[in-house]
Amino acid sequence: MRADLIIKTRGQVVTCRSNGEPKKGVEMNDCGILSGGAVAVLGGKIAAVGDEKDIFDAFDAGEVIDAGDRVICPGFVDPHTHIVFAGNRLDEFELKLKGAEYLEILELGGGIISSVQQTRAASEDELYRQSRRRLDKMLAGGTTTAEVKTGYGLDTGTELKMLNVIGRLDRDHAVDLVPTFLAAHAVPPEFRGDPDAYVSLICEEMLPAAWNWYTASHFAGKETPFYCDVFCEKNAFDLEQTRRLLQRAAALGFALKAHVDEFTNLGGSRLGIEMNAASIDHLDAISDDEIRLLAASDTIGIVTPTVNFNFGSHEFAHARELIDTGCAVAISTDYNPGSAPCPSQPMAMAIACRYQKLLPAEALNAATINAAYSIGQGSSRGSIEGGKNADILILDTTDHRDIAYEFGGNMVATVVKDGTVAHEQKPFRV
């Protein structure tokens, strides 16, 4: 049989394969390592993975990439990002360094609202250009699939503008995107005295408009899920507002996510689990009872260690306890202009290992296969297995643990996306 591409290595083929579902507990420390081997690619999909001799006996290669003794692993999946925004928050960064708290800045009209003002003012084309540069950085760092949220518009027109940008990026860029509607990111200034009225606007106008956008989009055509998210937090949306928003979204057809327990526990984790959310994200203040509920559910817990690092905090979500209790855990950069200006999943993994005590294999599974499942992509991405999209990295190291061990650089030498080299720093062709 003719293969379009064969990638071979004398080193590790790290498959991150699973049994058709997210990894939990001790499974997260098994990232499916083959000692040497090859991956055959046909039509943008993985045709086979295994021993090099067996692969070359079964396939004639149209092209071969010889990785030498370097690591081959799946492309990273980033399941929680906010990369579509205009401008920056450099002034706020300095305020934080001087001691200002995030919620204090938000209460004073800064934080998310600052990005809202800049995003509202930007044209769609300018928003696209700025966001594409961020996506380029993510691709160079090995991310091949990412979730992207709205939430810097907070009015119908700007939220739809953000969705249009997400759609354009998905069509134009190598990184595959999964859209999430987050109009409930903050209460905009014009509704500051009446947040319930803003919740009504989201439920009655914005969510239906967003769903109509989705049904007419190419995302619906390729069956990419469309999520609705809510920031359930003090000075954002309380538990009952969150319930109302998620119930309305679910009735329209959205899949669900929730920002919960980032600073205070309002019961959002329990609500998200009860409503069968695909993921609940942040989890810094999740309770022990909610951890046990999460472990017994199909919901995935997404931790965002870059946020705590950026805040200079010594307190992190208890990801070690989540895994030990049997939860499926994923890692994200939470790439955004305020709390986590970080495009790098390897950096997020490095922080998670040091401050949340994940082992390197656990961090890698959390940033690939579990992350893929948390955004509805686990059947097609996140691991090197037959039939899945050929999203494959060649890393300039001989041991996968080096991804989390070394930090501050970029060991991604080659990014293969859907069977085609999408980014390359060091060619290894033969």
Question: Quick check: 177 pLDDT over 70?
Answer: yes
Same domain for 280 and 187? Answer: yes
Separation of alpha carbons 378 and 10, rounded Å: 28
In a domain, 399, yes or no: yes
Quote the pLDDT of residue 158. Answer: 98
Residue 347 and residue 270 in one domain: yes
**What is the per-residue pLDDT for 106?**
66
Q: Which residues constitute the domain of residue 16?
A: 2-74+382-424
User: Tokens representing 157?
Assistant: 């027109």
Q: Is residue 179 a part of any domain in this protein? A: yes
Strand segments (E) across 215-338: 227-232, 255-260, 279-282, 300-303, 329-331
Residues 44 and 152 grouped into a single domain: no
3-state SS assignment for residue 134: helix
Q: What is the pLDDT of residue 112?
A: 82
**Confidence (pLDDT) at 427:** 57
Q: What are the structure tokens assigned to 249, written together?
A: 């979204």
More confident residue, 28 or 110: 28
Q: What is the pLDDT of residue 56?
A: 96
Nearest in space to 161 (alpha carbons), one of 170, 173, 153: 153
Say if residue 94 is in the same domain as residue 146.
Answer: yes
pLDDT band for position 108 (50/70/90)?
low
Among residues 332, 358, 374, the one where a domain terminates is 374
Report which of 301, 294, 287, 299 is spatially closest to residue 331, judged by C-alpha positions. 301
Could you tell me if residue 430 is inside a domain? no
Point out the domain boundary residue: 354, 374, 394.
374
User: 3-state DSSP call for residue 315?
Assistant: coil
CA distance between the termini of the chain: 20
Q: Would you state the structure tokens that stand for residue 321, as one six-digit string? A: 């306890």
What would you report as the CA-atom Rg of the chain, rounded to the nearest whole angstrom? 21
* CATH number, residue 27: 2.30.40.10
Question: Residue 292: its pLDDT value, please?
Answer: 98
pLDDT (average), residues 114-138: 97
The structure tokens listed for 121 are 């003012």
Residue type, 192: R
Average pLDDT over residues 117-143: 98
Report pLDDT digits (tens) over 201-256.
999 999 999 999 999 999 999 999 999 999 999 989 999 999 999 999 999 999 99
CB 131 within 8 A of CB 165: yes
User: What is the model's pLDDT at position 116?
Assistant: 94
Using a pLDDT cut of 90, give the percent of the chain over it: 90
The burial class, CB within 10 Å (0-12 / 13-18 / 19+), for 51 is middle
Query: How buried is residue 271: exposed, middle or buried, by Cβ count under 10 Å (0-12/13-18/19+)?
Result: buried
**Separation CA 51–CA 78 (nearest Å):** 29
In a domain, 103, yes or no: yes
Do 399 and 258 belong together in one domain?
Answer: no
Task: Among 112-116, 137-141, 395-399, name the one with the lowest average pLDDT.
Answer: 112-116
Residue range 158-169: mean pLDDT, rounded: 98
**Same domain membership, residue 138 and residue 223:** yes
125 is written with which tokens? 């084309």
In a domain, 273, yes or no: yes
Q: If pLDDT is split at 50, 70 and 90, which confidence band does 90 have?
A: confident
CA gap 294, 287 in Å, rounded:
10
Give the whole-angstrom CA distance, residue 428 versus residue 430.
Answer: 7
103, pLDDT greater than 80: no
Q: ∠ CA(340), CA(223), CA(363), 5° rounding? A: 35
Look at residue 425 in the predicted model and tell me its pLDDT.
Answer: 87
Place of tokens 């060091």: 426
* Residue 429 lies inside a defined structural domain of this protein: no
Domain closes at, from 332, 356, 374: 374
| Whole-number pLDDT of residue 91 | 81
Contact 321, 301 (CB under 8 A): no
Q: Do 215 and 295 belong to one domain? A: yes
Write out the two tokens for 292. Answer: 């046990």
Name residues whose C-beta falls within 8 Å of residue 409's C-beta, 6 or more positions apart in sequence. none
Q: CA dist 63 to 54, 56, 353, Å?
A: 17, 12, 37
pLDDT at residue 178 is higher than 60? yes
**Higher pLDDT, residue 269 or 104:** 269
CATH number, position 102: 3.20.20.140
Assess whether 25 and 154 both reside in one domain.
no
Instruction: Say yes or no: 241 and 300 in one domain.
Output: yes
Residue 394 belongs to some domain of the structure? yes
State the average pLDDT over residues 65-85: 97
Q: Are residues 151 and 226 in the same domain?
A: yes
Residues 327 and 390 in one domain: no
Domain count for the chain: 2
Q: Is the pLDDT assigned to residue 140 strictly greater than 60?
A: yes
Flag whether 141 is in a domain.
yes
Position 423 pLDDT exceeds 50? yes
Q: Which of 106, 125, 134 is nearest to 338 (CA)?
A: 106
What is the pLDDT, as a whole number, of residue 426? 61
Tell me which of 200-204, 247-251, 338-342, 422-426 is least confident. Answer: 422-426
Query: What is the mean predicted confidence (pLDDT) over 301-325?
Result: 96
Q: Is 192 exposed, middle or buried (0-12, 13-18, 19+ CB in 10 A)?
A: exposed
Residues 6+ apart with CB under 8 A from 288: none
430 pLDDT band, cuts 50/70/90, is very low
Q: Summarize pLDDT for 390-420 with one digit per residue, the tens.
A: 999 999 999 999 999 999 999 999 999 999 9
Kindly state whether residues 297 and 410 are assigned to the same domain. Answer: no
Q: Region 326-336: what's the mean pLDDT?
A: 98
Name the one residue in this structure whose structure tokens are 């007419």. Answer: 216
